[in-house]
Structure 1
Amino acid sequence: MKYVYLLQHSYEINEVDETKTIGIYTSEENALNVIEKYKSLPGFKDYNEDCFYIDKYELNQNNWEEGFITWEEANKTDK
C-alpha cells in the first residue's frame, strides 16, 4: 500500500469552519462507500452536498514543508 485516503466532513456555520475526520481508508472506493452511508445519518444528512472531502496521501511523505504563523500573528494590528 502506497497511498491512503482521508475522509473528512466540513462545512461552515456562523462563519466558523466545522470539520470532522471520518476515517482513513485503503482506497478511494472504500471512502466513497462510507460517504453513501453517512449521508443518511443525523446531522450529516442536513449537510451532505459538497461537504465530504477525500484527500489522497502518499505514505512516508511530508505534506507540510514550510512553517506557519498563529491566528494571533495573522490578525495582529499595528497601533
Structure 2
Amino acid sequence: MNSVFLLQHLHTLPSGVDDVKIIGIYSTKDAALAAISRVKLQNGFNDFPELVNYELDMSDEGFHLNEFILDKDNWSEGYVTI
C-alpha cells in the first residue's frame, strides 16, 4: 500500500483554542521524523518539541504524526458527536 505521513504541531492558545500547524506531508516516517529534528528548535515549536505519544502523554501539545493510505476514504462509516 502507498501511504503518506502527515506531520502537524499543536499548541493551545491562552484562550483555550488549539493552534494547529501543518509542517508537511512526507513519503516515509523517517522523513517526517527528520523534519521534527529540523524544526523543533525553532521559535514556537521549541515550547513543545516532542512527538506526542497518545498512550502516555497527558497533554496533546507537540508534534503529531499520522499515516494515511492513499486513495482510501477515512471516516467511511460517518461519525457521531457525543
TM-score range, shorter chain: 0.7 to 0.9
Which contiguous aligned blocks of 4+ residues in structure 1 show a shift greater than 6 angstroms? none
Distance 1:21 1:4 in 2: 14
Match status 1:11 vs 2:11: yes
For the pair shown, the structure with the greater C-alpha radius of gyration is 1
**Paired residue for 1:44?**
45
* Map 1:54-69 → 2, pairs under 5 A: 54-65=65-76, 66=78
Q: Aligned residue pairs: how many?
A: 70
SS at match of 1:32: helix
Structure 1 gaps of 5+ residues are 75-79
Structure 2 gaps of 5+ residues are 53-61
The alignment's TM-score, normalised by the length of structure 1, stands at 0.77
The alignment's TM-score, normalised by the length of structure 2, stands at 0.74
Deviation at 1:64, TM superposition (A): 2.2
